[in-house]
Structure 1
Amino acid sequence: MNIREKVLVIEDEKSIARFISTVLSGNGYEAMQARTGAEAMSMISSHCPDLVILDLGLPDMDGLDILRQLRSWSSLPVVVVSARSHEKDKVTALDLGADDYLTKPFGTDELLARVRTAIRHTRTSSGNDEIAQKGTYTVGELTIDYNKHQVLKNGQNVRLTLSEFRIVALLGKYAGKVLTYDFIIKELWGPRAGGDNQILRVNMANIRRKIEKNPAEPEYLFTEVGVGYRLAEEV
């Protein structure tokens, strides 16, 4: 890693903050720490980190409020790391603009993978660049052709319906990132669409049958239970 990306760890528990910082430093990142929300906002403005790792349970303010404030003026990638495991908390954080959500306890390999993905989205946006330049997005044997409105598997059209294609096309634009059910529904069916996920689940089941070798063990379309869906990203 030629340029050391700066990561701000916002965590009030010293042992956890030290652990995360040690892992990051040992893998080529420059780690900084903030213990409170006020300190965190000041450091974001003054140190311009490349990514934020955010705990939600801070002594002076809720981490969601930091996320809300940050998203009002910045697209800085944020990976939430929290002991809150309820689906509602995950959905709220992702809807407010978090790039990812890790529940404590977590493994170091998973943490590093989420950090790499979040930074890559802002630095290169490989999927978006490919779509802009070629009109396609490819991962493994799967290709989304945005110009022809087709999804190909090994070069063969899998013949998605219009609704199915729109879902896959949207996920392709955010490949590697979890999109909440609510986000997908509102993007595809409008802001007045209801919160019923049934039509989305039915479409996803049909899509998986067409593109996955084994729908029960997907290679391309992943479900974050109770939260949303994610399309695989080419590594």
Structure 2
Amino acid sequence: MRLLLVEDDDHVAAALSAILARHGFQVVHARSGEEALQALLPADAAPFGVVLLDLGLPDQDGYEVCGKIRKRTSIPVIMVTARSDVRSRIHGLNLGADDYVVKPYDTGELLARIHAVARRKPSEQESSAPEQAAVVRLGSLSIELSTRRVLVDGVEVPLTRKEFDLLALLAQRPGVVFRREQIISEVWRTSWEGTGRTLEVHVASLRSKLRMPALVETVRGVGYRLVAPVDGL
């Protein structure tokens, strides 16, 4: 897999590139936001599987770079940041990041997250149009499963790949509690325990984007369930 590493510190980049190379990655190093955007331009180049984006860049804010990347491509983006607060993580997800890693991080954690975001369902990789879109309607919320569109009161709400997968999973059985382990297994396709914090952030992001804080209910010690919204409330 080709991986775009966006990191302005050459020493950090060299050490990380060596580790990634040992695990089978072909690393392309960009030292700034502009270099990263230029690396994504050649149409004839082999595609990248993942972008590993450090937020502390010399020329542009990492969040700004993430937004520009997402406008150009659907390549999974993992943010690397020292900001551990939930608000910063939600902001990154809203801009289109697929995941984040907080510094200092364990190399095993980073590799697990890279492999997790790189996994895609066949339906996500194919661009063929569905013959008929399956739609789940819950009050003012509409979830088009085949086209992967979500609308609230008829207005489309952009979601990241994992946010949509999480919502679609919970919408299969509204009111039924999904265990955290089950959600992580089906959405992130891993049993790795460290993904739990990522799940919490994605739930918070869904509540924020859909403007429905009560839509996804936390069942303490168990997991989450989707509470069907009531029209007019």
* TM superposition score category, shorter chain reference: 0.5 to 0.7
Take 1:27 and 1:124, find their aligned partners in 2: how far apart are those partners?
27
Take 2:63 and 2:73, find their aligned partners in 1: how far apart are those partners?
15
Aligned match of 1:225: none
Question: How far does residue 166 in structure 1 lie from its aligned partner after superposition?
Answer: 9.6
- In the superposition, relative to structure 1, how do residues 67 and 123 fare at CA in structure 2: closer, same or farther (>3 Å)? farther
Percent identical across equivalent pairs? 29
Corresponding residue SS for 2:51: strand
- In the superposition, relative to structure 1, how do residues 101 and 149 fare at CA in structure 2: closer, same or farther (>3 Å)? closer
Q: Summarize the alignment of residues 66-145 of structure 1 with structure 2, pairs less than 5 Å apart.
A: 66-121=65-120
Corresponding residue SS for 2:112: helix
Take 1:166 and 1:29, find their aligned partners in 2: how far apart are those partners?
34
* Alignment of 1:30 onto 2:26: yes
Corresponding residue SS for 1:121: coil
Question: How far does residue 85 in structure 1 lie from its aligned partner after superposition?
Answer: 2.0
Take 1:122 and 1:34, find their aligned partners in 2: how far apart are those partners?
29
- In the superposition, relative to structure 1, how do residues 184 and 8 fare at CA in structure 2: closer, same or farther (>3 Å)? same
Aligned match of 1:65: 64
Indicate which of 10, 13, 20 corresponds to 2:9.
13
Gaps of 5+ in 1: 133-144, 151-161, 209-214, 223-235
Structure 2 length normalisation: TM-score? Answer: 0.60
Structure 1 length normalisation: TM-score? Answer: 0.60
Contact 1:67/1:97 (CA < 8 Å) preserved in 2? yes
Corresponding residue SS for 2:74: coil
Count of residues paired in the alignment: 167
Q: Summarize the alignment of residues 182-221 of structure 1 with structure 2, pairs less than 5 Å apart.
A: 182-184=205-207, 186=209, 191=210, 193=211, 196=213, 199=214, 203-205=217-219, 215=221, 221=223
Question: How far does residue 23 in structure 1 lie from its aligned partner after superposition?
Answer: 1.2
Aligned-CA RMSD value: 3.5
Contact 1:81/1:101 (CA < 8 Å) preserved in 2? yes
Question: How far does residue 80 in structure 1 lie from its aligned partner after superposition?
Answer: 0.8
Corresponding residue SS for 2:16: helix
Question: How far does residue 102 in structure 1 lie from its aligned partner after superposition?
Answer: 0.3
Contact 2:93/2:205 (CA < 8 Å) preserved in 1? no
CA deviation map 1:50-109 (0-9, x unaligned): 110000110000111111111123110011111222222111111111111000111111
Contact 1:95/1:180 (CA < 8 Å) preserved in 2? no
Gaps of 5+ in 2: 126-144, 147-167, 189-197, 225-233
Corresponding residue SS for 1:110: helix
Amino acid at match of 2:68: Q
Take 2:185 and 2:96, find their aligned partners in 1: how far apart are those partners?
16
Take 1:163 and 1:107, find their aligned partners in 2: how far apart are those partners?
37
